[in-house]
A and B are shown apart, each in its own frame.
Chain A
Amino acid sequence: MKKLRRTMLFVPASNPNMMVNAPIFKPDCIIFDLEDAISLREKDSARDLLVEALKSIDYKDCEIFARVNPLYTPFGEEDVRALVAAGLRNVRLPMSETEEDIKKLDTLLTDIEKELGLDNGVVKILGAIETAKGVLNAEKIAVASSRMIGISFGAEDFTRTIGAERSKGGEELFVARSKIVLAAAAAGIDAIDTVFADVDDAKGFRKEVESAKQLGFAGKSVIHPGQIRTVHDVFTPSQEDVDKAVRVINAIEEAESKGLGVISLDGKMIDAPVVARAERIVTLAKGAGIL
């Protein structure tokens, strides 16, 4: 079944307390951050701390990512080497601007997997698109490696690169967000929306999450545990939608068992997109614990 990635909670890899306690808030994913949240002089200690955390803490169903430093910095390659050896299986690559950026990481991961005797391709990539150039290359980035499981949008750096201020309305982000959703959808991977930095603005946050869902994002990066419930709320389908989806799936299963081709439900034809949508709703409902 497709993994739920409604929330990706950023946790700085410098804080042992948060590294242990983050799963309590039940995000779908945790992203341990070695990049922007960590000062240059603590890059080594954060990496060591995350390595030991990965080796000893059982995060159970929570999918674990690490935002490593970009490979063009002195820290990126060593981050990836140390973390994969410690058990990391999902790398979030910041500043993904071209397919070459992804291919470089892909090659490095292939080497590391070989050295460690891991299956080829076991480590996955989430490419973070955070610049105008990255947005324009989103389609190529999304398919640059068979390891890609998603692309995420980083609005703070993006607005800087286009010379705009980030607004609550998000008009300056509209084209970029849509392009990222389209690129991910065409590649069959997840699109994850950007963070919302004002943790005190609950109303504005909900509005942005609703707009992310409406645009087609699979989930949202969050920077505070308090934001998780809102995202899960918005991304959880209504009971009416869930009931309908279950009826669609039951009808399809019944039709298949009877060897029927095209079927209808309540007078409407059920075709592949309808079934796919129903399956997605059932996945979300199960993840939310309402089915």
Chain B
Amino acid sequence: MKIEGIGQAGSLESNDLMIMVDLNQKENLIIEIESIVKEKFGEQIEAVIKETLTENGVGNGYIKVVDKGALDFAIRARLKTAIKRAEGRQ
């Protein structure tokens, strides 16, 4: 079932992440990160997410990330797909 404004992408495999983007949240930007490496890389993951959101023109929304040790390229890719799916572009 597809819910308007919500997109999800990724997996819970090692070195990947599951990411959910809810663009119905229009007031502010909320980023929630669960990660096996949060202590060490939590800030970096958040920075990559914010940068990718900006690049894709997303200012506000609710972003939920369950990370399994993904590298930056995978974070960017999964977020990009989730945004496009939320916007109904894919």
Contact = CB atoms under 8 A, between A and B. Distances in A.
Interface stretch (B22-30, B32-40, B76-84): B76-84
A49 B78 contact: yes
A49 B90 contact: no
A53 B73 contact: yes
10 contacts: A15-B13, A16-B15, A17-B13, A17-B15, A44-B84, A48-B78, A49-B81, A52-B80, A53-B73, A56-B72
A20 interface: yes
A45 B15 contact: no
A51 interface: yes
Interface residues of A, number: 15
A51 B76 CA distance: 10
Nearest to A13: B77
A48 B71 contact: no
Interface of A: 14-17, 20, 44-45, 48-49, 51-53, 55-57
B77 A52 contact: yes
Nearest to B83: A48
The 4 closest A-B pairs by CB, nearest first: A17-B15, A52-B77, A16-B74, A44-B90
Interface in B12-61: 13-16
Contacts of B11: 14
B10 A45 contact: yes
Q: Which range holds the interface residue count of chain B?
A: 20 to 34
Interface of B: 9-11, 13-16, 70-74, 76-78, 80-81, 84-85, 90
B74 A49 contact: yes
B13 A45 contact: no
Contacts of A55: 73
B84 A16 contact: no
A48 B78 CA distance: 7
Nearest to B9: A45
Contacts of B70: 16
| A14, A49, A55 — most chain B CB neighbours (10 Å) | A49
A125 to B, nearest CB: 25
Contact of B76 (A17, A44, A52): A52
Given A52-B77, A52-B80, 20 more contacts: A14-B11, A16-B15, A16-B70, A16-B71, A16-B77, A17-B13, A17-B15, A17-B16, A44-B81, A44-B84, A44-B85, A45-B9, A45-B78, A48-B9, A49-B73, A49-B77, A53-B73, A56-B71, A56-B72, A57-B73
Contacts of B78: 45, 48-49
